[in-house]
Structure 1
Amino acid sequence: MFHLLQTFMAVYEEQNFTHAAQKRFISQPTVSLHIQKLEELTNTTLFLRNGRNKAVPTESADLLYVRAKQMDSLWEASLNDLEQLRGKTRTAYTIGASQTIGVYMLPQVLPQLHAHFPNYDFIVTIANSTAIFHNVETHDYQVGLVESPIIAPTVTREVFAYDSLVLAGDMKSELWLLRETGSGIRAYTDQFFQQENIIPQQKIEIASNEAILQLLEQGTGKTLLSDLSVRDFPYETPSTPITRPLYQISNHAFPTDDVQIKLLDLLQQTFR
């Protein structure tokens, strides 16, 4: 059964039978056979064939993918536990953080977290909030730290701090510097535009806080950003102050672990 699910996850991620076969190091007919067997077992259609090798996931596939990723993650955790029983002492632990939190907040608590869990190898990925929610849903990240008000049925959220947003840069400029859709700050920027009836006439979209800060320091454009990231450029508080909650998120299908508990405690102590 597990090998069928591994093939299914490869097809789901690649949405292509040929690419899935290459990823799994098996033949394309074997991939097709695995998917056929899984569809028979689940009594549902998992993929719509679109063209020779294209595979479009159905709603059933969306559901099964999340469950399969959860099982895969639990299997990996079980293997780690067995290795510890055999004397292995180190454990990999994945944390996803959105850019403001990952750059300005997480480094202040990571040394203390490491001191409490010296046998853990922490793997930190900085991405936008939408990507982090997805990877927490599939348990690729064991814990996430996000700025976006996104909700998901399998994700538990807890506020650890609040963040204020400011208008920064050349206020007379018509050029708005925007983060990409899916980022926490972009969601709040879009809300701000609606509230203030702003339709940007000029804009540059960049999937990097650092690149936006560099442009602001050069005197180019303006943006909405966290007051944590303010540097040597002009800024002001919006006429209606914007405060946003910052969340620690985890997948409630998995038990809350000691690292999640300690990380939340450290963040709340440091930033509240």
Structure 2
Amino acid sequence: MEIRQLQYFMAVCEEMHFTKAAERIGISQPTLSQQIRALEDELNTPLFDRLGKKIALTEAGSLLLQYSSQIARDLQNAKDAIADLRKAQRGALRIGVLPSDLDYRITGLLTEFHRQFPGIKLQVFASVDILQLVLDNEVDIGISLEGPPDDRLVRIPLCREEYAIVVSGGHPLQSRKEPLRLDELRTIPMIMYPEGYIGRDIVESFTRKRGFTLNTTMETTSATSVLNLVKANTGATVQPYPLIQQINDPQLICVPIVEETPYRSLEILYRSDRYLGLAAKAFMDRIVSFFSD
């Protein structure tokens, strides 16, 4: 069994079509079919059911695909480790970040990283589903909300951030001296992300325990537009207090929430079977330092 044969096999699995797979990897269809038959002969079992013009993985094929994918990852990790050992400091680092944190928090960190590793191409992806990006190998490192244990992942806790109500200078709450009770959010007109977005769901998971949902009068998917609407005195919003602190906009005023204060916990996550080189580890060290300050 050769690595090349496994690569051919995985290409057929991805396309589920011999001709398309052959075109993709640049060989003839008869040659590809011959290599798959040789693999089946060696294993003494069919890997695909031929159903007319269609094919489907057999149980043995599904098992081989699982191990072939692991072999491919291990091979790539070996190449990455050797390249890192030579300190070429080339390549790309893909990072997944929650949209609001990308917009307002880590630009300076990205600039510093680029100065130290100018040969590394940084690719930063904003998403509310960082976990899936990591599991699908779409990104190397994710900065996301804390999740349940998963053997496929390494998780590094970063911080816990409490939410506060955010208003503009012209809002009735702008001169409020004492914190708000959670129940007081019942009637305050809010500008929030739509339902299903993390920032909205976290806050309403707390308010539902008190028997109400937010009085949302306007929704937008952009953190920038949420805060611009607040500054225009269109309503209030509820956001992580440290995030608003780091934005440092005098037009945004935070009022703390007491009694079951909503909060979020952030973490770094990456696949446990993924090799992380010198640059990736340096980036994670910067993230840990940034959120611990």
Q: Answer with 1 or 2: which has the greater Rg.
A: 2
Asked if 1:92 corresponds to 2:107, the answer is: no
Matches within 5 A, 1:200-211: 200=214, 202=216, 204-211=218-225
What TM-score, normalized by structure 2, do the two folds share?
A: 0.63
Instruction: Sort the Cα spacing of 1:162 and 1:245 in 2 relative to 1 into closer, same or farther, 3 A.
Output: same
Which 5+ residue runs of structure 1 have no aligned equivalent? 12-16, 47-52
Alignment-derived partner of residue 182 in structure 2: none
Q: CA RMSD in A?
A: 4.8
Conserved? CA contact 1:92–1:122, under 8 Å: yes
Secondary structure of residue in 1 paired with 2:230: helix
Alignment-derived partner of residue 157 in structure 2: 159
1:92 is displaced (CA, Å) by 1.3
Alignment-derived partner of residue 139 in structure 2: 141
Tell me how far apart the structure 1 counterparts of residues 79 and 104 of structure 2 sit (CA, whole Å). 34
Conserved? CA contact 2:191–2:230, under 8 Å: no
Asked if 1:199 corresponds to 2:213, the answer is: yes
Asked if 1:226 corresponds to 2:240, the answer is: yes
Conserved? CA contact 1:148–1:185, under 8 Å: no
1:97 is displaced (CA, Å) by 1.0
Asked if 1:5 corresponds to 2:19, the answer is: no
Q: Which amino acid aligns with 1:2?
A: Q
Identity of aligned residues (%): 16
Alignment-derived partner of residue 177 in structure 1: 192
1:263 is displaced (CA, Å) by 2.1
Conserved? CA contact 2:154–2:271, under 8 Å: yes
Tell me how far apart the structure 2 counterparts of residues 95 and 188 of structure 1 sit (CA, whole Å). 23
Tell me how far apart the structure 1 counterparts of residues 127 and 106 of structure 2 sit (CA, whole Å). 13
Tell me how far apart the structure 2 counterparts of residues 189 and 90 of structure 1 sit (CA, whole Å). 42
Conserved? CA contact 2:77–2:275, under 8 Å: no
1:122 is displaced (CA, Å) by 1.2
Conserved? CA contact 1:160–1:247, under 8 Å: yes
1:91 is displaced (CA, Å) by 0.8
Conserved? CA contact 1:178–1:186, under 8 Å: yes
Q: Deviations over 1:160-215 (max 9, x none)?
A: 2332311224665444512552x542342232222332224545543321222222
What is the total number of aligned residue pairs between the two structures?
253
Conserved? CA contact 1:157–1:250, under 8 Å: yes
1:251 is displaced (CA, Å) by 0.4
What TM-score, normalized by structure 1, do the two folds share?
A: 0.67
1:144 is displaced (CA, Å) by 0.8
Conserved? CA contact 2:204–2:214, under 8 Å: no
